[in-house]
Amino acid sequence: MRRAFTGHGASRGSALGHARVRLPFLFEVSEQHIAEADVATELARLHAAIQDVRAELHAARERLHGALAHEVGEFLDLHALLLDDPELLQGLDALIRDSRYSADYALRLQRDRLAAVFAAMDDDYFRSRSEDVDQVIGRLHAALHRGEPHAGGVAGEILVTDTVAPAELVQLQSQGVLAIVTTGGSMLSHAAILARSLHIPLVVGAGEVLQHVNDGDVLVVDGARGRVVVSPDASDLRGYRTRRRDEQHERRQLHRLRREPTRTLDGVDIRLYANAESRDDVAEAHALGAAGLGLYRTEYLFLQGSAAPDEDTQFRAYRDAVLGMTGRTVTIRTLDLGADKADRAGLTLPREPNPALGCRGVRLSLARGDIFAIQMRALLRASGYGPLRILVPMVATRDEMLQVAALLRSTREALRAEGHHVADEVPLGAMIEVPAAALALPALADTVDFVSIGTNDLVQYMLAADRNNDALEDLHSPLHPAVLRVLRDVIRTGRARGLPVAVCGEMAGDPAFVPLLLALGLEEFSLHPATLLEVRQAIRACDLGALRRRAGALMRARDRAGIDRWMRQASTAA
Ligand code: PEP
Ligand code: MG
C-alpha cells in the first residue's frame, strides 16, 4: 500500500530503489544464553568481529583524504580508541565466559553500562559521546552477523535507519548506496554536511518511517523536499522521472560553468578560490577553474603520521600544491592545531580545560618555535615554484603578526644564504576568526597583506556557541545581526586599506548566502570544490549593484527571521 512520509531534505538528489532497513541495534537484541560447551566458539566469534571492525576502521581512515579527513577522521579515531578500551573488551569476555550470555546480548549489556557511565559525566562533551559508543557497538553487532542473509552492503539500495554516523557515510558511498532516510538527525549535523559534499541524497527526521518500511519495499526519495514514498504509484513515478531529468539537466548546466567566468549580471568579476587539503582537492580546484587556493589546511599533513612531518615532507606537499595550480595563487595556512588534536600529530601538550579557547593556531606555533621554524622553511622553499601566500590562523593581536613577519624575514635570509630560491614576494595574511582581531582590524592592517574571514570560528566565538555541539546548531549561524555587522566592517576596512578580503568558512560554500555576502561587499570567496560550480552559478545570477543598494535593509534586520526575509526577497529579485 502506498504511504508517504515527510521529513527534512538534508541533501539534494532523487532516488528510486529497494529499501534496506537497519533497525536500531537495541530493538534487535533480547536476552540470550548459550551452553557451556559453546563458550569458546562464542568468544572466538566475538574476537573475530572485533578484528574485523578494527580493520574496517583502519581501512576507512586510509581511504579518507581532503576535507573528509578533517571532518570524519576524528570520529574514526575516537571509535578506534573506544574499540580498544580494555574495560569494554574484558567486560564482554566476562559476560560470555562467566554469565554465558550470547555475544549479541553481551554487547547490549556493555553498551547500556557504558552509556550510563557517559550519561553520568559532568562534561557535556563526554555525555554526547555515548552516541559514539552506540556506533562502535553497532559496528561490532553488524560484524557478528556478516555473511548471514540480509547482512552486507547496501549496493544500489536505499538505507532506512534511525541515525547515520558521519564516519559511516564514506563507506556507504563506496558500497553504492542510492540514498539514506533517517528518523533522527538534523539538517546541520555533521552527517548532513558530509552527505551534501558526497552528493548522497539524505532525508532526516522522517518520523514513523521505520515502523512502516520493510526490506525490499520500493521507495522514492526526494532529498530536496524531504519526501519518502513507499510503494509509489504511477504519479509518484512520473514525478520522480521529471525530477531526475531536471537534476541531470542542472548537473550538465553546472558542468558547463567550469570554463565560464565568475561574473555578476552587471559585469563585476568575483574571485572564487578553493579550500583544499590534498592532491585530489588541488586537482579538482584546478579543473573547476578556481582562481587559486584560498585556504590550504596543513593540519591534515600533520595528522597523517605519528610524528610531525619533517621539512622535506612539508616542502614537497606545499610545492606540489603550487605546481598543481599552474601559476594561480596558492594560500597555505600555517598549522591550526590545539591541545585537543596535537597529540595525534606527535606533539605533547599540557591538557587544557577548554581547547577551543586554548593554545591553538598561531599561539601554538609561536609557543613551539621548533615546529614553526620547520614549517616556515618548507613554505618559503615552496615559494620558489610559483605564487604562494602564507595565512596565519587564530590571530588575536598585532604582536602575533609582527612575530610571524619577523620569522618570515629571518627564514628567508637563512634559506638564501644556503642557496635556496625564495620568492621576493610572499604575502602574509591573517585569518579573521577571533572577534578581537575583527574589531581591531584597523590596528592590525599594516601588519598584513591580505585577510581571510574564518566564519566557522568567528561565529562560534561571537555567539559563544561551540561549532561541534549539534544541540547548538541553530545558534551557530552567521545569520545574526552582530555577525553581519562584523563581516561588513571587516570587508569595508580591508577595502579602504587596499587589503584583499576573502571569506573561507563554510558560509562561502553555500549558494544560499551568495546574495548576502555580495551585498556586504565581498568579492573573494574560498570554498570546498564540491560546491564551487553552484556558487559560481549563484553569483552569475546576481545583480551586484541592486544587491548593494539593498545592503542598508539587510543591516537593519533585527533577527534571524528578518535576515531570512531579506534573503528570500533577494533571491526572488535576482
Ligand atoms: C573557519 O574557522 O572558518 C575556518 C575556515 O577554519 P577552520 O574551519 O579550519 O577552523
Ligand atoms: Mg578556524
Chain mean position to CA 423:
33
* pLDDT tens profile 24-41: 765 567 788 899 999 999
Q: Which ligand is nearest to the CA of 456?
A: 1
Answer yes or no: is the C-beta of 456 below 6 A from any ligand 1 atom. Answer: yes
Reading the block at residue 510, the C-alpha cell is 553555500
Write the residue with the smallest CA distance to atom 4 of ligand 1.
Answer: 454
Which amino acid, one-letter code, is at 515?
Answer: P
The whole-number average pLDDT for the span 69-80 is: 72
The whole-number average pLDDT for the span 432-445 is: 98
Sheet holding 227-230, edge to edge: 3-6, 227-230, 218-222, 14-22, 157-161, 179-182, 202-204, 8-11
Using alpha carbons, select from 444, 508, 44, 89 the residue that is nearest to residue 294: 508
152 pLDDT exceeds 90? no
Q: Which residues are catalytic?
A: 190, 504
- Between these two residues, 215 and 484, which has the higher pLDDT value? 484
What average pLDDT does the chain have?
Answer: 89
Tally: H helices and E strands in the chain = 26, 16
Which amino acid, one-letter code, is at 254?
Answer: L
Ligand 1 geometric centre to CA of 163 (Å): 26
Answer yes or no: is the C-beta of 455 below 6 A from any ligand 1 atom. Answer: yes
Q: Which ligand is nearest to the CA of 395?
A: 2
280 pLDDT exceeds 90? no
Answer yes or no: is the C-beta of 504 below 6 A from any ligand 1 atom. Answer: yes
Q: Are 331 and 294 in contact (CB under 8 A)?
A: yes
Residue 372: per-residue pLDDT: 97
Write the residue with the smallest CA distance to atom 3 of ligand 1.
Answer: 454
What pTM was computed for the model? 0.71
Atom of ligand 1 minimally distant from the CA of 453: 3
Helix (H, G, I), strand (E, B) or coil at 133: helix
Ligand 1 geometric centre to CA of 225 (Å): 29
* CA atoms lying within 13 Å on the CB side of residue 255: 6
Ligand 2 geometric centre to CA of 455 (Å): 7
Using alpha carbons, select from 228, 226, 251, 227 the residue that is nearest to residue 10: 226
Write the residue with the smallest CA distance to atom 6 of ligand 1.
Answer: 454
CA 367 – CA 363 distance, rounded (Å): 6
Ligand 2 geometric centre to CA of 454 (Å): 5
Ligand 2 geometric centre to CA of 376 (Å): 20
Atom of ligand 1 minimally distant from the CA of 457: 2
Atom of ligand 1 minimally distant from the CA of 70: 9
Q: Are 293 and 528 in contact (CB under 8 A)?
A: no
Q: Which ligand is nearest to the CA of 70?
A: 1
Residue 188: per-residue pLDDT: 59
Answer yes or no: is the C-beta of 222 below 6 A from any ligand 1 atom. Answer: no
Atom of ligand 1 minimally distant from the CA of 433: 2
456 CB-contact burial (10 Å; exposed 0-12 / middle 13-18 / buried 19+): middle
Q: Which of 414-423, 477-486, 564-573 has the lowest mean pLDDT?
A: 564-573
Could you tell me which residues are beta bridge partners of residue 11?
Answer: 202
Express as a percent the part of the chain with pLDDT over 90: 60
Neighbour count for residue 216 (Cβ, 10 Å): 11
* pLDDT tens profile 442-475: 999 999 999 999 999 999 999 999 887 767 878 9
Residue 314: per-residue pLDDT: 97
- Vertex 427 angle, CA 423 and 431, to 5°: 145
